[in-house]
Structure 1
Amino acid sequence: MLKYELIPGQLLYEGSISPQNLFAPTACPDEVVLWTHDATYLEKLHRQTLSAKEQRHIGFPQSPALTQRELVIAQGTIDCCLYAFEYGVAMNVAGGTHHAFADHGEGFCLLNDFAVAANYLLHHQLAYKILIIDLDVHQGNGTARLFEHEPRVFTFSMHGDHNYPFHKEKSDLDIALKDGTHDNIYLPLLENTLQTLISQLQPDFAFFLSGVDILDTDKFGKLKVSMPGCRHRDEIVFNMLRRHGIPCTVAMGGGYSPDVKTIVEAHCNTFRAALDIYF
């Protein structure tokens, strides 16, 4: 998508970041992917043997380039985790592929980058209690299923009730929002919920999926969060995590406003909020 080029371009142009703030990941090794995804499914991605039905569920026709892209995104999220330990926060311009399950992809997601990275941290004993904060307008169904029996990872999804996926999985905490939810409902609900979760769970690492499809301009989101409200959402998350000393990896997630400038501005606001709070 065009936004993945425009976001860093805008941040560089305005001076919010410099080229030294950017990194380009390699592809995630199969060994690491297999801590999350099934071997048969990964082999299908490599050999390009997904069935027509499997491709329809994903929403993309299979291609070697698409598989490579997903492997690079997954490694990028792992790399972000390592940077987050050093700087407090790190951002993946892409990522947030939360509809991918262990054995199949859905909703334009092939591999679940947050799940791959979380399992990497657990495997290497870099984290012991992980909180996934999924604020995309769509429920993180793949993430919920992948960690339903993993007590070290708590999945929190705050999403539109009447939106994709229409069959929801069970996260550790789901908050389903009514169509037309405004800032005055969304923001206090998020702040109170997140404060309670952090107090109860005491996580030592967090993932934040900062989808901007919650905007009132979004074609598919059905919520009515304003552009300033969306930035305030990011500030709530970052301020709370920083106050509690919890490193955070961020992925951009979805955004489908008709004007690409709106999408880019909202995503750039996430970076700007992180810069203001952490640096």
Structure 2
Amino acid sequence: MCVCGSEECVDGTLMSTLEAFLHQDLHVLSVAVVELPMEAESSHHTDLYARIPLTCLPIVYHPDYNITFMGLEKLHPFDAGKWGKVIHFLKEEQFLTDENMVEAREASEEDLLVVHTKRYLNKLKWSMVVANITEIPPLIFLPNFLVQRRVLRPLRTQTGGTIMAGKLAIDRGWAVNVGGGFHHCSSDRGGGFCAYADITLAIKFLFERVEGISRATIIDLDAHQGNGHERDFLDDKRVFIMDVYNRYIYPEDNFAKKAIKRKVELDWGTEDSEYLQKVELHTEGSLNEVRPDIIVYNAGTDVLDGDPLGGLSISPQGIVKRDEIVFRAARRRGIPILMVTSGGYQKRTARIIADSILNLHREALIGPEALEGEGSSSMVTSMLSSSGSTGSTSTAV
């Protein structure tokens, strides 16, 4: 996987890649460096904004995303290994390799404190609290060091992946964290299998660390209301929230709903035609109303027909089309987009996520040819493109 922490590493990787594929004169190479947004001064050191070689696709993953713990993970409807299955399918289709995806890093306590209160993080040192958040009651009886290692560390790694993908989206025009999307967690409370507020963290990191990033739009299409980020950004006019969800299911957080600028409440059993029409109408309307510097797309697949918690009736093809609608709207406007995968509780969910990513690539909405967004160099994009180097709960998240 792509792991690199210094400018020297990036510059070396870029130079060797261009030399190998292009055999151009050095004066050409000297200008073929991506012009990235300036990083603003920030309050603490983080390893999550390490430079990533341009040979890597901005798709973030780590095997530690997957939660396996003596079978206890099976006590929750969530498929706690779906993220690895997504990667398996993408490798099968020869879209990804171990060498061209980005390895996520675990968010440190200092990283988490950008949003979370110290009191909340201390609460997570009690197994009973984690059991309530994840809705896996037997965790109450386990030593917290095991809960930290087997449950919270994977969630912290996914959270780090979302923060990393936020920066990658600005640099490359798009990024996908194969995990994340913990939209029920806010700065001081968790729930619905969401222990860390990764969406809020990704946005706050960008606001604080990247010059010129001052407005964000969250498009939340998980079947459940995203009450976590809504509580965090309730009075923040820099963040526009569009939320499309089943009105009758968890969390029914009326206080958090005050933060939603475009609220689309769905009925039980909503099907493709009505759903896709509303998604397209309100996505276009949201981006026309406010032009953000970054879109955070919470692409939950618990809208799938038969999902035990979502209560909607969207087909696999409908989910693929939904994701295409959102990415196409972002691409048409040249707005960087970060996608996280959020909820989805059926065995076929991983295949659908992989199929959607492959469709986005076929439609040239992601991949080297899609890098000509804000903050990237069209020259390097065309060079790397021509090289072919990247191929072809029981509540809820």
User: Normalising to structure 2: TM-score of the pair?
Assistant: 0.66
What's the secondary structure of 2:252's corresponding residue? coil
1:179 to 252, 265, 268: 268
Identity of aligned residues (%): 30
Whole-angstrom distance in 2 between the partners of 1:218 and 1:212: 9
- The equivalent of 2:389 in structure 1 is none
2:131 to 42, 55, 65: 55
Counterparts of 1:26-105 in structure 2, within 5 Å, are: 26-45=105-124, 48-49=125-126, 52=128, 55-60=131-136, 61=139, 63-65=147-149, 66-105=151-190
1:215 to 304, 325, 328: 304
Give CA deviations for 1:195-236 in whole Å, capped at 9, x if unaligned. Answer: 111111111101111111111132221111111111100000
Whole-angstrom distance in 1 between the partners of 2:186 and 2:245: 18
Give CA deviations for 1:44-67 in whole Å, capped at 9, x if unaligned. Answer: 33xx236x3663244243611222
Whole-angstrom distance in 1 between the partners of 2:177 and 2:191: 20
Greater Cα radius of gyration, structure 1 or 2: 2
- My pick for the range that moved more, 53-62 or 148-157, is 53-62
What's the secondary structure of 1:20's corresponding residue? coil
Q: CA deviation at 1:17?
A: 1.9
- The equivalent of 1:108 in structure 2 is 193
Q: Verify: 1:274 aligned to 2:353, yes or no.
A: no
Give CA deviations for 1:123-168 in whole Å, capped at 9, x if unaligned. Answer: 1144111001110001101111011011111122101111111334
- The equivalent of 2:14 in structure 1 is none
Query: Is the contact made by 2:203 and 2:216 (CA closer than 8 Å) also made in structure 1?
Result: yes
What's the secondary structure of 1:157's corresponding residue? strand
The unaligned stretches of length 5 or more in structure 2 are 1-79, 368-397
- Read off the aligned partner of 1:64 and give its amino acid letter: Q
2:315 to 209, 218, 226: 226
Number of matched pairs:
273
Whole-angstrom distance in 1 between the partners of 2:166 and 2:187: 21
Q: Verify: 1:9 aligned to 2:95, yes or no.
A: no
User: Normalising to structure 1: TM-score of the pair?
Assistant: 0.92
Q: Verify: 1:22 aligned to 2:101, yes or no.
A: yes
What's the secondary structure of 2:96's corresponding residue? coil
Going from structure 1 to structure 2, the CA distance change for 1:142 and 1:12 (only over 3 Å counts) comes to same
Going from structure 1 to structure 2, the CA distance change for 1:263 and 1:40 (only over 3 Å counts) comes to same
> Which structure 1 residue ranges, 4+ long, deviate > 6 Å from structure 2?
none
The unaligned stretches of length 5 or more in structure 1 are none
Q: CA deviation at 1:25?
A: 1.9
